[in-house]
Structure 1
């Protein structure tokens, strides 16, 4: 790693902040030289339908990248494969500024890790989404809101951070916003460079189907990967204020991520009659990955009158491309001097076009009607070319070399009505979505049907009832949601980990559909207690199948049903002393999964305790400190059972340069406790995994903000991009 890069980032931050020239404006002949913000923004804001976390108000949990911020939120857990859980439930939809990120799994992790936390202002955890949102997202929505400058003239924010674990990671970002006349221009660029690592241990016990307690073979796999990476991220746009009621905006953002992932896996085979391994397989694997995504769009917002009637429309385009080059070499004690090799070239591209229009019509003083329509077209084209070398030169592997083409069209419309009859508020909506899918696989030997077609239409009602009394609220929410398979899970290509472990998509996957009911009580926006019930059909989980010669295929499958229920309690900004505030989250969720396999009907059920506690101490004179901890208990997750996970984080913050600058020292996973463990039982096999990444880190960051001018109202800009979460290739 080039340490000079990190030094340069910090110098850039300091110098840029000190030398930017700003333009001041006049209002009523009064020149504004400086704006001083004295109001303290709370870390957490609690509402009936969502909870908002203000990143800048946090001391330790607002540093590093957006990935670090997200995984530290109360009730949020991100597994190493990129699956996001909220209070023990998966199926979370992640948005940025109300727009889908187009990504899920490792692709979403890549974007979040390359985007600095300094670029975000707040994060909304939306538990009661209205019909205006897409119906996707089983357990709710996470909306990351980037910073919006509201001052005329030149506004600048620069940030640099470095954190050290086993290896180092650095981020640098610069955001510029200029509002002048009828135009508002904004630009953000960030660069991330670092090295990550992954330690994985897998123990497999192969048993007889007729004698499940008798172990016929045990296999242990030890893997270690160290991978350096670089990532670029940008966001730019222009807003044109055509009139007092009309705003037109264009924007673009993108990401380029490159990594090289060398790794070694040692596989040890043992029969019950041997006290020690009787054979060993060494697999060396090198992957070169390059991923890029480009998004562009245009949006229009027009106020029809001064009473709040608004129409907005948008159109967006996304291109996501990637290349994955694989070199795998394996040798065995049973074959001395022989090395088997496999190489693969897996390029792919996704193109998505989407547009929508929304209309908001308040009337009669108490009513508000909303309606809208949306379309999206998705096209996927992926190729995989493999070749084998068993000592006789490279020979194309026709069985694994394939070409996958997928086309999807989703058309949707909704209508929603809200009314206030004090002390009651009611919001009812209905969304309809029609989905058309065509896919085909050519070349090779498809493990699942090589072509498929699907047509379905679904209705998604939602209802929110609120009763306000004094400073409290009691609400009841019902909503029907859907989680469509991400595109990576539909891709039937075979991905090779080693000679005995493969991963493959499933073109026969069905979407998950769930019904959610939640009763919530809010006390003075400081305390929230609720009870949730959720019933999901066709739950999508990673399943494990044994094929010939003990080869294990990891394939997404649909389980029959999944049920989740339990209480959730939050406290926000609870003052224990004049200098001490506490945020706490406690939830107990009971997950119950049911499915059928070759052994008959199977059940995995468990109650899980989830909790977090954040202490924030304000010592005055710009000094503050934060200490937080989180715990996720043993949890049922489809066919698997996840072991408990906990970690403790902390940090110190000092405001400098007349409060325009902020220095933070922070530490993550202080006790080196965060380790993912999983147990899986399927017919003929038990598996235990133990995985750790480079989570224990200490870091430093510096942020400088420069702005002069007067505040203007933020325009309402919406985008129609809503399929981003499903890209996971």
Structure 2
């Protein structure tokens, strides 16, 4: 009898538990960028009296699942720090499992002791078409300058000569606040070092830009956006940092002011950078003539010690005003002043059969660069109807540069009874570049599932460059007329595009676009030695198609496939026919006969839960522009840009972001495997440079305690081909620790770049005439920074996006 009672009690208890699992409510919580939100509090309340029933939190995918014991009417409350609280009414019938689907939470700024606080954004975000890095959320990424920040981005390689590679491929375009800019040459660092990383809000890496973007740049776009103020009030900020590099020091400071008052928005920014970079370099060149019999080995060993002393100012201001609820106007102006002194001591030693030197050359170079870059413009945005918006802009840029060179050489020939010869050279290069551009765009929502975007643009470029050299002969300076030239260049580009976005099925969207560009080029070269002029004219038209399809395989898996075509026009320095003398054995010269590169790209990818992305990609480029190395008389090498036959690449890229092994540890990772091949013709024979390149990046973001943050990241880049050069593997590890102070208004950071001094750049030149090896080393830097922000006001919606679209293309900044 007792056993029967026990069995009856167990059965009754089991039956009592059944209603607890009979009804449930579930859903997925995301932010305004469709990213899943973790640890959002979800509470079920009784609809009649708001009595607490049960609750829980969302998981790493933003999902929640709550069991409710009884049927009835309820209210779901969703809340999280930095997000607006949301209530959803629902009812449950017996045994119902209710699915609410996607639930959007909007960001919310709230007032705390006079300081506006907003939830911290994740360090990295993924979409089907891009990767977004929020520098303001990174202790390490916001340190130093924009040039330093680019080096730390996953999949981005930045060389000190200004070359930027994205996913192992050259030809990336850098955009700053909507301004497309081709940056090249050693002065790229000078321009980017004028912009503090602390003033940057986010950087977006777009591997396949649509037709609305300019067609320039074959490997994608690095889109940089300045930090914005989203409160009705003011923001005052200050940032300063100092870094120690061996016995040299460098640092930067930044002051920022932003004000929103009713319809007026004003922002101003000033920064100053000063410091010294060192660049020890080792070069080995093979001058052996293998056609001779017997073969006599001749090797040139060069050791250079270079220092770069920088002093740079950057100022920028912008004013926006809403004339009405439909019409807003804005204007901006910015200027960069840069003084850079480059000092080099190059020791060159020729050796042949013996180990002793046959001859030596000591060269001292000093270059003083003074550069100014003035930019400005005005724009407007007019919302004609709720479905039609019209935007336009006019922009200008005035670039001025003066580069003075002093060179002294001492040559010793031990085969000629210690014959000694001294040479002195003085040169000056003047660069004047004026750019004016205008554009107009419309966006028209035709139906609920169809949107049309189109626009036109025209840009006008005028260049006036002059170079003068002289050497010292019998105590007097004598012009070197064979090297003194004046180069005039004009380039006009007229463009138009149209793009359609269409929802073609319940789960599928398509984007199709075409961009047409017509380019007019005219150049004139005056040579002082012959007092004669030569000129050239070119005109070419290109059509750049773009198509992209998104398909939602499920609520958390999205498939994307895209194709696009792009162009890379020669930068102005590469087209400049002037000669630059590095030393007796190395000359640089431009090439006015360069053709533009035309590339075709295709990629397909899978995006999982906005956290994992896998992409298969391929690209083909016709006439890629690369540095070529040609042997000349007197053991001299000419570095000369030429169009190669082609290059193509294909590979796979895998990215994971916002992984949480623990509550205080966030992990991001990136891995890319790219096969790249360059092909060219030399002496009627096909030559190539082909390599499989692996790239790895791992970032660790830690929050060990309240007010404390730490970061440890590293990368490893495998062998990377670049024209006739092959870059050896390179790796680096960096770290930073930060703490909030002064009631969370200030932050102090300690950071260490390249902890183990592993960042060596080794390049092997694949040249059938004169193979060479090049090596340079960068030392570890340790630094400290302090930031302070005072912000007061109430949260408002973002105003119309900045519409700057300045055309500062291909200037060697």
Coarse TM-score class (shorter-chain normalised)? over 0.9
Correspondence 1:323-334 to 2 at 5 A = 323-334=402-413
Match of 1:526 in 2: 611
Q: Distance in 1 between matches of 2:712 and 2:303?
A: 35
Q: Distance in 2 between matches of 1:586 and 1:54?
A: 20
Is contact 1:209–1:683 with CA below 8 Å preserved after alignment? no
CA contact (8 A) 2:412 2:421 kept: no
CA shift, 1:393, in A, is 2.2
1:319 aligns with 398
1:703 matched to 2:784? The reply is no
The counterpart of 1:460, out of the listed 536, 539, 544, is 544
* Partner of residue 335, structure 2: 254
1:590 aligns to 2:658 (yes or no)? no
What are the equivalent positions in structure 2 for 1:69-468 lying under 5 Å apart?
A: 69-101=149-181, 103-166=183-246, 167-208=248-289, 210=291, 214=295, 216-271=297-352, 273-307=353-387, 309-334=388-413, 338-420=421-503, 421-444=505-528, 450-468=534-552
Give the structure 1 partner of residue 758 of structure 2: 673
Output the CA distance in 1 between the equivalents of 2:558 and 2:716: 29
Deviates more, 1:41-50 or 1:335-344: 335-344
Deviation by residue 1:240-283 (Cα, 9 ceiling, x = unmatched)? 11011111001001111101122111110112x22221110111
What SS does structure 1 have at the residue aligned with 2:795? Answer: coil
What's the TM-score, normalizing by structure 1?
0.93
Corresponding residue of 1:548? 633
Q: Distance in 1 between matches of 2:167 and 2:234?
A: 41
Give the SS at the match of 2:187. helix
Shift of 1:330: 0.6
**Structure 1, residues 627-657: CA drift from partner, whole Å, max 9, x if none?**
1110110122111111001000001011112
State the alpha-carbon separation in 2 of the partners of residues 597 and 295 from structure 1.
43
Q: C-alpha displacement at 1:102, in angstroms?
A: 5.6
1:612 matched to 2:697? The reply is yes
SS of the residue 1:362 aligns to? strand
1:513 counterpart SS class:
strand
Deviation at 1:218, TM superposition (A): 1.1
- Deviation, 1:53, is 0.2
Task: Tell me how far apart the structure 2 counterparts of residues 319 and 402 of structure 1 sit (CA, whole Å).
Answer: 22
Counterpart for residue 26 of structure 2: none
Please say if 1:726 is aligned against 2:810: yes
**1:208: Cα distance to partner?**
2.6
507-516 or 328-337, which deviates more: 328-337
**Mapped partners of 2:473, 2:356: distance in 1:** 29
What's 1:15 paired with? none
Quote the residue 1:716 is aligned against.
800
1:495 aligns with 2:580: yes
Equivalence map 1:551-562=2 (5 Å): 551-562=636-647
**For residues 484 and 633 of structure 2, what CA distance do their matches in structure 1 show?**
20
Task: Determine the C-alpha separation between the residues in 1 that align with 2:798 and 2:484.
Answer: 51
Query: Cα–Cα, structure 1 residues 710 and 214, in superposed 2: closer, same or farther, change >3 Å?
Result: farther
Q: 1:195 touches 1:228 (CA, 8 Å); kept in 2?
A: yes
User: Separation in 2 of the partners of 1:265 and 1:458?
Assistant: 45
Contact 2:235 2:257 in 1 (8 A): yes
TM-fit CA distance, 1:722: 5.2
Measured after TM superposition, the shift of residue 33 of structure 1 is: 6.2
| 1:626 paired to 2:711 | yes
Task: State the secondary structure of the residue aligned to 2:186.
Answer: helix
* 1:206-253 CA distance string (max 9 Å, x none): 233647994542111111112321000011011111011111001001
Aligned to 2:650: 565
Change (3 A) 1:33 1:708: same
CA RMSD of aligned residues (A): 1.9
Could you tell which deviates more after superposition, 214-223 or 355-364?
Answer: 214-223
Shift of 1:38: 5.2
- Distance across 2 between alignment mates of 1:482 and 1:599: 27
Q: Which has the larger radius of gyration?
A: 2
Which stretches in structure 2 are left out of the alignment for 5+ residues? 1-109
Shift of residue 443, structure 1, vs aligned partner: 1.3
Q: Quick one: distance in 2 between partners of 1:518 and 1:466? A: 12
Structure 1 residue 203: deviation in Å?
0.6
Instruction: State the distance in 1 between where 2:675 and 2:293 align.
Output: 28
Q: 1:112 to 1:83 in 2, by over 3 A?
A: same
Inter-partner Cα distance in structure 2 for 1:248 and 1:573: 38
Secondary structure of the residue that 1:549 maps to in structure 2? helix
Q: 1:471 to 1:538 in 2, by over 3 A?
A: same
Deviations 1:64-106 (A, max 9, x none): 1111111100011111211001111000000011112463333
- Residues 339, 391 of structure 1: 8 Å contact kept: no
1:346-379 deviation per Cα after TM superposition (whole angstroms, max 9, x unaligned) = 1111000001000000121111100100000000
- The secondary structure found in structure 2 opposite 1:109 is helix
What is the CA distance between 1:114 and its match in structure 2? Answer: 1.5
Contact 2:160 2:189 in 1 (8 A): no
Cα 1:275/1:667, change in 2 over 3 Å:
same
- 8 A contact 2:526–2:533 mirrored in 1: no
1:669-700: CA deviation from partner (whole Å, max 9, x where unpaired): 1110111111112232111001124x410111
SS of the equivalent of 1:724 reads coil
Displacement after TM superposition at 1:511 (Å): 0.8
Task: Give the Cα–Cα distance (whole angstroms) in 1 for the partners of residues 111 and 360 of structure 2.
Answer: 77
Secondary structure at the aligned position of 1:488 is classed as: helix
Q: Equivalents in 2 of 1:416, 1:585: separation in Å?
A: 31
How high is the TM-score relative to the length of structure 2?
0.83
1:301-342 alpha-carbon deviations (Å, 9 max, x no partner): 1112234x2110000000010001111111112376642111
Q: Which residue does the alignment assign to 2:777?
A: 692
Dislocated runs of 4+, deviation >6 Å = 30-33
Separation in structure 2 between the aligned mates of residue 212 and residue 498 of structure 1, nearest angstrom: 30
Structure 1 residue matching 2:170: 3-state secondary structure = coil
Q: Distance in 2 between matches of 1:33 and 1:57?
A: 22
